[in-house]
Amino acid sequence: MNLIIDVGNTRVKVAVFEQDKIVELLVFNKNRIISEVKKILKKYQIDDAIMSSVSSISSKKIEKLRELVSITLVSSTITTPFKNLYSTPKTLGVDRIALVFGAVIKYPNKNTLVIDAGTCITFDFVNKEKEYLGGAISPGVEMRYKSLHQLTAKLPLLEKKKPENFIGNSTKESINSGVVNGVIQEIEGVIQQYKKKYLDLTVVLTGGDTNFLSKQLKSSIFANQNFLLEGLNEILIFNKNK
């Protein structure tokens, strides 16, 4: 079995895979990472482990994890089945590497756009020749709500909510429309940009806001909230079989 650890901006996701299937998935705060991994190791026979982190995690904690289990750390130097044409490959986030990795393995010989709707919304594109061309990064849903509250004097901080109408008839509804409708229109617009150039486009939506957003999108997509974890598992399998 494989242990997959994804340290995000706000929380940690840990999954146990048996081949390509998730048998357990946990989500918790970063300060619990050692104790939660210990629990998993008592419950399952883990053969290999991999971790990606877009947030700061101390070297001390990494060493403690390595004392518990043999673990691979994802970096820009890891071997991949795609050609990275990003002009600054060392700055490419490990989460984006895992998403593209998953796209190449799961959708071989396809033009694939992966949209990760989490703290940030990232767009990553790999063509059918297995060339990663890049993408885009923009603020996520909650970040937009927070910025309206924190960078203004009187706008309230709201929980995300599907707008009742795109024309907001109150301050709260105007904020919901501006944030949620804005994100939907942005995603739809980006998808259409890619489709104009790549007619046979496969689109994958993932991340914490997958379920919230997928129901509101009109474009044809594959919604998979665990696509990043699956990509990390594919990295582990790929490098183990080299």
Cite the active site residues: 95
Q: Which residues contact 153 (CB under 8 A, 6 or more apart)?
A: none
The reply, when asked if residue 124 is annotated as ligand binding, is no
Nearest to 50 by CA among 28, 72, 35: 72
Is 96 annotated among the ligand-binding residues?
Answer: yes
Q: Is 86 known as a binding-site position?
A: yes
- Could you list the beta-strand ranges (E) of 68-207: 71-73, 83-84, 111-117, 120-126, 131-139, 201-206
Whether residue 66 is annotated as binding a ligand: the answer is: no
Is 94 labelled a binding residue? yes
Task: Tell whether residue 102 is among the known ligand binding residues.
Answer: no
The answer to whether 95 is annotated as binding is yes
Residues contacting residue 201 through CB under 8 Å, at least 6 positions apart: 111, 112, 113, 191, 194, 195
Residue 119 labeled ligand binder: yes
- Is 25 in a helix, a strand, or coil? strand
Is residue 26 classed as helix, strand or coil in its secondary structure?
Answer: strand
116 labelled binding-site residue: yes
Question: Residue 48 region, left (φ>0) first, then alpha (ψ -120 to 50), else beta?
Answer: beta
Q: Is 140 annotated as a binding residue?
A: no
Asked if residue 100 belongs to a known ligand binding site, the reply is: no
CA atoms within 13 A on the CB side of 242: 10
Alpha carbon distance 135, 122 (integer Å): 7
In degrees, rounded to 5, the angle at the alpha carbon of residue 86 between the alpha carbons of residues 81 and 87 is: 140
Q: Is 107 among the annotated ligand-binding positions?
A: no
Per-residue burial over 170-207, b if 16 or more Cβ lie within 10 Å, else e, is eeebebbbbbbbebbeebeebbeebeeebeebbbbbbb
Instruction: Check whether 132 is labelled as a binding-site residue.
Output: no
Instruction: Check the annotation: does 204 bind a ligand.
Output: no
Q: Which two tokens stand for residue 135?
A: 């993408």
Binding residues for ATP: 6-13, 119
The annotated binding site for K(+) is made up of 116
Binding residues: 6-13, 86, 93-96, 116, 119, 171
